[in-house]
Structure 1
Amino acid sequence: MVRSQPLPSRLVAAVTGVLVLAACSATPAAPGSSAAGATFVVATAGEPDTLNPVLNYGVDGASLIFDGLVARDAENALVPALAAELPTVSGDGRTVTATLRSGVTFHDGSPLTAADVVFTYRAVLDPKVDSTLRSDLDMLTAVTAPDPATVVFSLKYAYAPFLQRLTLGIVPAGVLDGQDINKAGFNRQPVGTGPYEVESWTAGDRLVLAANDSYWGGRPANRKLIVAFVPDDNVRAQRMRAGEFDAAELAPKLAAGFDNAAGYTVQRVSTADYRGVMLPFGSAVTGDLAVRRALSVGVDRAAMVTGILAGAGEPAFGPIPPTSEYADPATVGRASADTAAATALLDAGGWVPGADGIRARAGVQAAFTLMYPAGDSLRKELALAVTADARKIGIKISPEGLTWDAIDTRITKDALLMGFGTPYDPDFVSYKLFGSKFAGQGYFNPGSYRSPIADKALQDGRDQADPAQRKAAYATFQQQLVADAPWVFLTYLKHTYVVKSGITGVSPRVEAHEHDVANSLWWNIHTWTRQ
């Protein structure tokens, strides 16, 4: 989950950034001039912790700085990237062979070889490297290079979506070999093969990318990209309206304010990105099954979609989006609140209403804190809506907007309005977010949900190659989540962006939760031009 990080030091930098970015974009070049389209300035809420793919930057492709062996096109279908063609899979599914595209060079001019691919994947698998991707590749037993243009992946078992894991950006072995990857300067000033190279990164302010004229996919249509980090939604909207940005991601309501504004277009992009309330199992209140189930049926998802999302989304009942072939329709619940069912669950669980209407059991009041990132207006509104719905069934929620640093210290104890989701394979994200082996590991299963049934279903889903068996496994997983309610799933979002008029080449595609510097509307910004 990419996080916006509103640190105090960033406030000063952001003010400075207003002036710097205004100089870059407030006065657009005249159409047809030599400067027209030379620089694009986009704004996002989140700032990455690193720019190293080994450490989880842009692993689903479209990082703009790196390329994987494969990439995704406008329909999210796999296409060759650094591989000359889609890698081949052996009959037993346990050997995958990739042949590299010839003539590819890194930003420093060094040639791409199979040794770089081997180094990248081995680095992810190295226990000394703090890569959150290691569990994504636990089916991998070896990566070898029989010659400079060939890479062979050996798997423990046939893993159906393995080719999708080959979107991982490739790093140059010659630059990183022998270094402590966790602390390498490369993490902030990387060298890749992508359409842009890093010119500078000012923490809390902006990332400046310059065109890679030697890009194997063709010289970028524009000379520079500036990514402004503006964690506060309202500030980002104000600066967009002031003309500082060519494109910006905005909360749905804020984006709707540009619908009739001259000089702008609004893009509402379909996603697999969900929002929900993560409920810690260690609490006497949120750890109680009756409370969790009551909240799940007692929230009004339909009202959230209409009111908070301005229609840019749909109700969510689980982590596998309705558009997925693996979605189980049997787990879809009632979109509006079922207050009667919620109160019946609490009554049966022994939670008795007090004089103030708040329920209690054995001297413990049905009350808890719900955290959300302070600068995220959408999560704030969702948290307030959940708070109001919970109050109607006798549960007291105290919403609290915090910095991510403060949230980090409390995620195993307090509920959190979280966001995740992927339009790719159901093994992605859910395996770590709901698997017992990841309980309490940062933002992977922070609530310490443990279910042998869900664990087995998740493991079966990644072990089985047969589509029917995988579909059955993920149906079991989704049904178990409904039974246990470790999260109260609220909504799937449409990511909303505002783009200045006159920009061509914008090509929305279904997005994952991660959509800040990488995988956003600007996944193909190297092809954008101005009219």
Structure 2
Amino acid sequence: MLGLGAEPDSLNPVLGYSVDGGSLMFDGLVRRTPDLKLQPALAESLPEVTGEEVRFTLRQGVTFHDGRPLTGADVVHTYEQVLDPANNSPVRGDYAAIEKVESPDPRTVVFHLRHPYAPILQRATLGIVPDKSDLSADPIGTGPYAFVSWTKGDKLTLRANDRYWGGRPAIESLVLAYTTDDNARATRMAAGEFTATELPPKAVARFRDQPGLTVHEVPSADYRGVMFPLEQPVTGDLAVRKALGLAVDRGAMVAAILAGAGEPAYGPIAPGTDWHNPAVTGSAAPDRAKAIATLEAAGWKAGQDGIRVKDGTAARFTLMYPAGDSLRKELALAVASDAKRIGIDVRPAGLDWDAIDQRMAEDALIMGWGSPYDPDYTNYELFHSAYAGQGYFNPGRYRDPEVDRLLERGRAAADPAARKQVYDRVQQRISDDAVWLYLVYLKHTYVVRGEWSGLTPGVEAHEHATGGLLGTVVNWKPAP
């Protein structure tokens, strides 16, 4: 049994389930290796990407869990379902460059693009579902594990796929137990309920040096930061946002909240990845004098209670975080403490996601995103004005025509060097506008019981509930 902190809304790739290829039930045309290289999965080989047509040849002998053979019609159906507006797929925008998908014969699939789209192979990790399948039906894929049952709010049970084209997994039965509260998950791990679980860095301390348990720290592109609602008078003021960026003590956050398992964050693309702009940086230590000077110059004057005021508006706002997420709670409290020292009153509020969803236009939020894959990933949705106010994509309603143009150019350009220049400019612009208050990049921390081979983690994305170290379970074997 594996303990997970997040439960998916759906188990259908069409509706956004594990589109990055981490699912145990589905395969994409391609998949990623631990070092983030692409390799064929349901496709026989990686095709050349030139211009506006991409042609895949399917692997022979692949069957779905119910015994049906994989054909090109299944691939066509999957992508058509994603692109159909009636299905309201949350990942539809990721595939907007696709004009149509055709299958001239059972083993051939042709993608026709509206324009050249550099990340098309990266997007081909989307899990394939059977032709004519219903979105509400029990999941049927081609992956190493098959669906048995799902008790929402509790657990997902899977069984090994005897016919898996990549070889049957060593672990016969798998239970993914969903426990959103970090402390409850740690308690269940300590009680011996879980074989492995994900926990915040501080929570794994109790498991270090315990016999039979191993703590794994895995590098990630996963950041935490403050999403600002930009249409509000306080958080919409650039001087307030810049002052907070100067006032927070990122170094202390890494040391105390992450127990050293991370690093300060200053932008949306992680250091050490190919697309990071090293010019977008800052200081891990606060500069409160400069923060105060920034506020003073913008007309934010200290009131009698120490809280700054401008044009009758107090420098005060609510900072939400998901209740049960101990790491985000601690970050929210740290931001509030640092903000108070420069005269800004930040009020943390722990809420459930349903309540948060209704308030993102008015209140700030400790959010997490980040991907080590192509820079088009999440950044287009987070910063393009077309997504302003669309759920958790661009909830702050950021709008900048220049950033829009750069993001559109970046996904259409074929030359990696040209794309790097574009995304360097995007990162600089986001920094100049202080769209987010970036705080920390995390190392993902896990506790594993027993001795296993096959644990092969790579740099992980924010959305690692179906991937990450626990997603490598298909390769786990008990150590001799």
**TM-score, normalization: structure 1?**
0.89
**Residue 109 (structure 1) aligns with:** 67
Report the 3-state secondary structure (helix = DSSP H, G, I; strand = E; otherwise coil) of the residue aligned with 1:96: strand
Counterpart selection for 1:154 from 112, 115, 118:
112
1:435 aligned onto 2:393? no
Report the 3-state secondary structure (helix = DSSP H, G, I; strand = E; otherwise coil) of the residue aligned with 1:175: coil
For 1:383 and 1:508, the matched residues in 2 are separated by 29
Q: Does the 8 Å CA contact 1:88/1:98 hold for their aligned counterparts? A: no
**Residue 63 (structure 1) aligns with:** 23
**Residue 34 (structure 1) aligns with:** none
User: Letter of the aligned partner of 2:298 in structure 1?
Assistant: G
Counterpart selection for 1:72 from 32, 35, 39:
32
What are the superposed Cα offsets for residues 363-400 of structure 1, whole Å, 9 maximum, x if unpaired?
A: 11100000000100000000011011101111000000
What are the superposed Cα offsets for residues 153-192 of structure 1, whole Å, 9 maximum, x if unpaired?
A: 111222122111100000001323xxxx3xx2x2xx2000
For 1:255 and 1:163, the matched residues in 2 are separated by 36
Q: 1:476 offset after TM fit, Å?
A: 1.1
**Residue 169 (structure 1) aligns with:** 127
1:258 aligned onto 2:185? no
Within 5 Å, give how 1:170-189 maps onto structure 2. Answer: 170-176=128-134, 181=135, 184=136, 186=137, 189=138
Within 5 Å, give how 1:459-498 maps onto structure 2. Answer: 459-498=408-447
User: Letter of the aligned partner of 2:211 in structure 1?
Assistant: A
What are the superposed Cα offsets for residues 298-357 of structure 1, whole Å, 9 maximum, x if unpaired?
A: 111111111100110011111111122221111111111111111111001100011221
Within 5 Å, give how 1:67-466 maps onto structure 2. Answer: 67-90=27-50, 93-176=51-134, 181=135, 184=136, 186=137, 189-466=138-415
For 2:450 and 2:161, the matched residues in 1 are separated by 26
For 1:200 and 1:87, the matched residues in 2 are separated by 36
Q: 1:524 offset after TM fit, Å?
A: 2.1
What are the superposed Cα offsets for residues 104-147 of structure 1, whole Å, 9 maximum, x if unpaired?
A: 11011111000000111111111111112111111111211110
Q: Does the 8 Å CA contact 2:77/2:132 hold for their aligned counterparts? A: no
For 1:175 and 1:472, the matched residues in 2 are separated by 42
For 1:45 and 1:324, the matched residues in 2 are separated by 26
Report the 3-state secondary structure (helix = DSSP H, G, I; strand = E; otherwise coil) of the residue aligned with 1:493: strand
For 1:163 and 1:529, the matched residues in 2 are separated by 30
Give the alignment's Cα RMSD to 1 decimal. 1.0
For 1:383 and 1:423, the matched residues in 2 are separated by 25
Q: Does the 8 Å CA contact 2:457/2:472 hold for their aligned counterparts? A: no
Identity %, equivalent residues: 57
User: Letter of the aligned partner of 2:32 in structure 1?
Assistant: R
For 1:229 and 1:270, the matched residues in 2 are separated by 23
For 1:227 and 1:134, the matched residues in 2 are separated by 27
**Residue 26 (structure 1) aligns with:** none
Q: Which moved more, 1:311-320 or 1:322-331?
A: 322-331
1:43 aligned onto 2:10? no
Q: Does the 8 Å CA contact 2:336/2:347 hold for their aligned counterparts? A: yes
User: Letter of the aligned partner of 2:16 in structure 1?
Assistant: N
Report the 3-state secondary structure (helix = DSSP H, G, I; strand = E; otherwise coil) of the residue aligned with 2:133: helix
Report the 3-state secondary structure (helix = DSSP H, G, I; strand = E; otherwise coil) of the residue aligned with 2:461: coil
Q: 1:527 offset after TM fit, Å?
A: 2.0
Q: Please, which runs of 5 or more residues in structure 2 have no aligned partner?
A: none
Q: Does the 8 Å CA contact 1:269/1:511 hold for their aligned counterparts? A: yes
Report the 3-state secondary structure (helix = DSSP H, G, I; strand = E; otherwise coil) of the residue aligned with 2:423: helix
Q: Which moved more, 1:64-73 or 1:124-133?
A: 124-133
Q: Which moved more, 1:45-54 or 1:326-335?
A: 326-335
Report the 3-state secondary structure (helix = DSSP H, G, I; strand = E; otherwise coil) of the residue aligned with 1:440: coil
Q: 1:86 offset after TM fit, Å?
A: 1.1
Q: Does the 8 Å CA contact 2:320/2:363 hold for their aligned counterparts? A: yes
Q: 1:259 offset after TM fit, Å?
A: 1.3
Q: Please, which runs of 5 or more residues in structure 1 have no aligned partner?
A: 1-40
Q: Does the 8 Å CA contact 1:69/1:83 hold for their aligned counterparts? A: yes
Report the 3-state secondary structure (helix = DSSP H, G, I; strand = E; otherwise coil) of the residue aligned with 1:304: helix
User: Letter of the aligned partner of 1:52 in structure 2?
Assistant: N
User: Letter of the aligned partner of 2:467 in structure 1?
Assistant: N
Report the 3-state secondary structure (helix = DSSP H, G, I; strand = E; otherwise coil) of the residue aligned with 1:426: coil
**Residue 528 (structure 1) aligns with:** 476
Q: 1:256 offset after TM fit, Å?
A: 2.1
Q: 1:149 offset after TM fit, Å?
A: 0.2
User: Letter of the aligned partner of 2:14 in structure 1?
Assistant: V
What are the superposed Cα offsets for residues 28-85 of structure 1, whole Å, 9 maximum, x if unpaired?
A: xxxxxxxxxxxxx100110000010011101010200000000011212101100011
Q: Does the 8 Å CA contact 2:26/2:127 hold for their aligned counterparts? A: yes
Q: Does the 8 Å CA contact 2:218/2:444 hold for their aligned counterparts? A: yes
Q: Does the 8 Å CA contact 1:264/1:500 hold for their aligned counterparts? A: yes
For 2:234 and 2:132, the matched residues in 1 are separated by 53
For 2:409 and 2:292, the matched residues in 1 are separated by 36
Q: Does the 8 Å CA contact 2:454/2:477 hold for their aligned counterparts? A: yes
What are the superposed Cα offsets for residues 412-453 of structure 1, whole Å, 9 maximum, x if unpaired?
A: 110000000100000000000111110011101111011112
User: Letter of the aligned partner of 2:448 in structure 1?
Assistant: V
* Number of residue equivalences: 479
**Residue 12 (structure 1) aligns with:** none
For 1:272 and 1:527, the matched residues in 2 are separated by 23
For 1:464 and 1:74, the matched residues in 2 are separated by 26
**Residue 16 (structure 1) aligns with:** none
What are the superposed Cα offsets for residues 200-245 of structure 1, whole Å, 9 maximum, x if unpaired?
A: 1011110101111111111111111100101110111111011110
Q: 1:529 offset after TM fit, Å?
A: 2.1
